[in-house]
Amino acid sequence: MNKSVIFILVVVVVITLLLFSGQVLSRKHETLNTANTGDTTLHKAPEGPPKGSLAPDFTLRVLEGPGKTMQLSSLKGKAVLVNFWATWCEPCKIEMPWLVELQTKYGDQGFVILGVAQDDSSDKTILGFAHKMKLNYPILKGNNDVGDLYPSNGLPLSVYVDRSGKIVQKVVGLVSQSEMEDAIKKALAEDKDNNKESSVGTKIAIAQ
């Protein structure tokens, strides 16, 4: 084999390796962007409790009210949207006015939103942000434990729970207000007359 052929083969191998490494780095970059910003193209949570299962119970600290906590299972009989968000999450900021409107519209029918802040910011910063956005539902301080119960590859993560405590839908990322409203209606309708026979999943107290 002459030198020119060997040179060509080496060039081909080097180019192939560069292309492969570029694809790997691109995938890593996309993964980091999803985790940090909440990819609006994602609509399904990657793991965690499946649709139709009892929502894992939790107790978290309410940011307004010293010493106040809220337990998911205490809302049995109501339809609940557990909305995981953060102050740095841009898609979260877009959907918040819709959440305020939907809470107002469906609150009298037994609908409750729990805003779980998965944020390293101080309580003061999170509350200041919530007041600025005029949020009209409880803001809870999230932590790693509740994150393990409801894993996600991005924010916002919205978990819709019906009156009996079962998950009717999980959504990662930003969707339209009409899609959110459809999920709320479904949560309000399902198991409306049978919630006495069901319970929210095993209680895991994780208040801090």
What's the pLDDT score for residue 43?
Answer: 47
What's the pLDDT score for residue 190?
Answer: 78
Q: Could you tell me which CATH number the domain at 59-197 has?
A: 3.40.30.10
Sites in the chain below the pLDDT cut of 70: 1-47, 191-208
What's the pLDDT score for residue 54?
Answer: 97
What's the pLDDT score for residue 6?
Answer: 59
Quick check: pTM over 0.85? Answer: no
What's the pLDDT score for residue 164?
Answer: 96
- Can you give the residue ranges of every domain in the chain? 1-37, 59-197
DSSP codes of every residue in 159-196: EEE-TTSBEEEEEES---HHHHHHHHHHHHHTTTT-GG
What's the pLDDT score for residue 66?
Answer: 78
**Strand spans (E) along 135-185:** 139-141, 157-161, 167-172
What's the pLDDT score for residue 86?
Answer: 98
